[in-house]
Every structure is written in C-alpha cells, then in structure tokens.
A = this chain, B = another copy of it.
C-alpha cells in the first residue's frame, strides 16, 4: 500500500519534503495558501540575493578605478532591477511548480487546518478534506511586529515591503542587526542609501563568531553604515521628509531621520489558525515541539522548518523536510545538527558552520583556534578584498574541527568544505594535508588549519593575526 503524505506549506521545507516523498514512492498532497516556494523564494532568500547581486556588482565596479575600470555613467536602473527580481522569483516558483508536477505531487491552493490526527481540511476555495498516513507541517514564519508608537505609519516597513520600494531611498533606518537587517544594510548602502542600523544587543549578528562580526562591521562602517548598539527604538514619528526614529542608547535619546524605517527584529512561527490545539500538538511560544525526527508529540504529525523555530534557514527547512518524510516512510535518515551552515550575503560574504568560539567557550570545551587573515592570500588581494579572515575552532585533544568561520569573497560557497570537514569529523591535519588550488580563497582554509597547531606558511611567525 502506498502511504499518503499530506504536507501543509509549500516553502523550502514543504515542497522539498513533497518531492522526496514522491521519489520514495509515496502519494503526496501539498497544500499552499499563497505562492509555492514560501518565504524563501517569494520574499526571502531569492529576492534579497537577486538585489544584492546587482548592488554588489555595482558597488565593486563603481569603485573600480583602482582595478582599471572607468565607470562614468554607471548606475542602477531600479525599475529594471525590480522587474528582474520578479522574473527570477517567478522562474524559480514556476520551476518548483513544474518539479511538483513532474513528481506527481497533488498541489492544492488554500488554507489548511488539522481536523484530526489523520485529516487535513482545506477551506478555500472549495472546502475539502484529505486523509493521511502522516502529516507534515511546514507552515513557516512571519515577521515579528513590535508594538512601538508609530509602528503603523506607512513608511515603516517589514522585509517584504523593503524589497519593493518605488525608488532607491536616500536614507533608511533599520531596526535589528540580525542577518536580515545586516543584509538590507549592505544592499542599500551599496546602492547609495544612508543606512543606520539600530540593535538592542551589545553587538550585531549575535549568533556569529565575534571576531568575524568585528571584521564585517568594520567593513560596513568604513563604507558609511552607522551602527547603534545597545540601542532601543522607542517611537517612530512623521517628519518633514520621511520619518524620525527615537532611539534610547544608555542615558541618551537620539533622533535619527530616515525616508523609511525597516523593522527586522526577528520572525516567529506561523502556527496560529492551524488547528494545533484541537489535535493536541504541543507548542512553546508558538514553536511546534518536535523530537529528533521532527515528529511532534502526536505520532505521525511532523513539523519542519521555521515553524519549529530550531534554526530558521531555508536549507535547514529542506533538510528537516527530507528527514521527516523519510522517517514517515520508514527510511533511516541522517540529520546532523552540528553541521548547519549559515550565510550572510554582504560583500565580503560571511559564512560559518559548527561552533563559534563563544559557543565552544560557553560549553566549557577545551579548544584551540587558528586564524588566517586574507591579507596573506593572493586571490583575496587580486579581488581587492584583503580584510577578511578564516577562523577554525578545533578541539585540543584530537584537533577535530568543531567550527569554521569565514568573512571574505565567496565565503558562502567556501563554507561547504568546512561543513564536510566537520561532518566527516576531520582533524586539522587532514585540512593541512589537503592540497588547495592556487590561487583561490580556499587556500586560506588550509592556512587557518595550520594556524591551529603551528604557523601558516603565508604569515610571518610571531606576528599577531587576529587584529586586522
């Protein structure tokens, strides 16, 4: 008997689970109330990276006099870029639609709720119920809306609205210095907008290794992004031109003007109106609780991706989706929660996997670090991007790689090597012994491994490496 899997939500968690289920021979039904692809394809990863791609090329080439480029007249045509963003999103959404069809997944348009432990009800446009052997919830997340005075003013934006502005703003205040806030800061700064980032915590990018944060922050600051940390938004008011954000830092009250205020203070699981209570699925602060197979307390009901709030990243949602459906269908499956890479598409890029130094320290581990500054890497000098670094964290005894953190060109692709190293429990010796092609940024990974136990080749002995 073919198993019936019903999936609620067509984001990177749900649609990937659907394809994997179909590949394994299940009869798969997928319900999506909005557009296939979810947050990631429509208003998240894909549109932001499409805008960043053009913006960063623009910035690099605009500053290209030193590398032999004459750029009179170079500019960004915002309406064309907006259309391109739509085109990329649409082509990927169509791609997902075609993939689901090719895999014979039945797709339903409508809002779904759990009716009982084995039944899903779709309420629009034509109400209908689907019975299932297993149900996978991939309902994603929505932006947190803090209730400050002025939150409803028209030019107070969330990340979705910030993707579709009528023109490049002259100034922008971003509330929240997490990954999304920082990427928008890089984006609009590159396009010429005056950007101020307001972060409540002592430092931006709290989950990122501290040394990496200081490099990227210094870089963005030198390009004109203002960062206010330990700063709390109290109010937004209409001003003559645009808005005024009132911000408290310690004892001081600052007023920052901006054409727009972008609120990017986090996302919360989208688990209301799903019928969770009626079937008894347990949640905590809105996040659905799951075990290591992403199964909820109700056997046969799984929750994957942003809605379980473990790690709100698209590839993590996809991986959890694959694991959940494989488990539901009785397959043995692998999910290594130690190896969940993250990427930040600033320029230079930031990426990391495994433990940060702060985590290693807080866990009381005995560890060593190795750092290699990209000022010692030929390709980084060629790419005019010498401020980055690679940092490796290894355990003291076996020199096993526990964390790899990169700020530099192509970091988001380079991190795959670090992820593979951690997942295969490689030690620094193996990374040192591995011959890395020249000239590549990846050579710096071997050098950082070298730095864990001795001195890299391309850095003078005894010269401090961690102060850029």
Contact = CB atoms under 8 A, between A and B. Distances in A.
A1 interface: no
Contacts of A95: 376, 458
Interface in A421-464: 421, 423-424, 426, 430-431, 433-443, 445, 454-455, 457-463
Contacts of A19: 457
A438 B12 contact: yes
Contact of A16 (B41, B442, B457): B457
Contacts of A367: none
Given A67-B54, A413-B414, A455-B23, A436 B315 contact: yes
A102 interface: yes
Interface string A291-324: 0000000000000000000000111101100100
B437 A426 contact: no
Contacts of A334: 433
B437 A92 contact: no
A341 B436 contact: yes
Contacts of A108: none
A50 interface: yes
Interface in A164-207: none
A80 B66 CA distance: 7
Determine which residue in A68, A95, A378 has the highest number of CB atoms from chain B within 10 A of its CB, and name it. Answer: A68
Contacts of A54: 64, 67-69
A424 B424 CA distance: 8
A239 interface: no
Given A64-B57, A69-B74, A98-B460, A416 B433 contact: no
Contact of A419 (B336, B426, B435, B463): B435
Given A68-B78, A382-B49, A435 B315 contact: yes
Contacts of A439: 45-46, 49, 314
B460 A102 contact: yes
Nearest to A351: B437
Nearest to A53: B382
A124 interface: no
Contacts of A57: 57, 60-61, 64, 67, 69
Copies of the chain in the assembly? 2
Contacts of A71: 73-74
B382 A46 contact: yes
A77 interface: yes
A207 to B, nearest CB: 14
Interface string A324-337: 00000000001010
A437 B410 CA distance: 13
A103 B463 CA distance: 12
A65 B80 contact: yes
Nearest to A58: B69
A243 to B, nearest CB: 27
A256 interface: no
A72 interface: yes
A144 interface: no
A76 interface: yes
A274 interface: no
Contacts of A313: 437-438
Nearest to A419: B434
B46 A74 contact: no
20 contacts: A12-B438, A16-B457, A23-B461, A40-B438, A41-B378, A57-B57, A58-B61, A65-B80, A68-B82, A69-B74, A69-B76, A70-B75, A72-B74, A73-B73, A99-B457, A99-B459, A103-B461, A315-B436, A419-B434, A424-B424
Given A99-B460, A319-B435, A416-B437, 19 more contacts: A23-B461, A41-B378, A54-B64, A54-B67, A54-B69, A57-B61, A57-B64, A68-B80, A71-B73, A73-B74, A318-B438, A336-B435, A339-B434, A341-B436, A413-B441, A415-B437, A416-B434, A417-B420, A420-B420
Interface of A: 12, 16, 19-20, 23, 40-41, 45-46, 49-50, 53-54, 57-58, 60-61, 64-78, 80-82, 84, 88, 91-92, 95, 98-99, 102-103, 313-316, 318-319, 322, 334, 336, 339-343, 351, 376, 378-379, 381-383, 410, 412-417, 419-421, 423-424, 426, 430-431, 433-443, 445, 454-455, 457-463
